[in-house]
Structures are given as structure tokens and as C-alpha cells.
Amino acid sequence: MSHPLTLIATITALPGQSAAVTEGLRRLVTASRAEPGCLQYDLHQHQARPEQFVMIEQWRDAQALNEHRNTSHFQHFTHAFGERVTGIELLPLQRIA
């Protein structure tokens, strides 16, 4: 039996790009939440550093996450906004209790 997969993604926008990245991430959230394997896809913004975003994701299983990475909306965000961010840090988590 597979267990849900939780992923924390930290995205940092380049100076002056926060508004554009916010809009792109909001569109990504809407499309991602409609995926059958998506259990949670919530976007947060750091209170003191508005250029930093945190996405809290939960997927049915690893296959659902892999399918998400191959969707047109995920690929679009990666290509359209990749030059507007300094990087994306991924923290995969496993629930233990």
C-alpha cells in the first residue's frame, strides 16, 4: 500500500519579479488542484520576504507526483518562469506519525 507523499517547495523570485511569479504560481495552483492525484497544493508567501514562496503539496503517491511534473501547466511554469526565480528548493517528506 502506498502512502501520500508530501513535498515542500521553496521558490525565491528574483528582485522585481515577485508579482509575476505570484501570478504564475496562482495559475499553477488552480490547474494542479484539479489533478486526480493531488490531495493538497497550497501556496504561501513569506511575511517579511515577499520574494519567497512556499508551496505545500501532498500527492496520492509518487506516481501522481511524477504525472504532475509532466503536465502541460507544470512544464509551462517551469519554462515561462524559470528565469524569474533564483531557484527552487524541494523538501520531500514522509509522514511517520
State the pTM of this model: 0.90
Give the pLDDT band of residue 47 (cuts 50, 70, 90): very high
**Rounded Cα distance, 23 and 31, in Å:** 13
- Ranges of each domain in the chain: 15-93
**Rounded Cα distance, 58 and 9, in Å:** 11
Give mean pLDDT, residues 13-29. Answer: 97
What's the CATH number of domain 15-93, 3.30.70.100, 3.40.50.12280, 3.20.20.70, 2.30.30.60?
Answer: 3.30.70.100
Percent of the chain with pLDDT over 70: 99
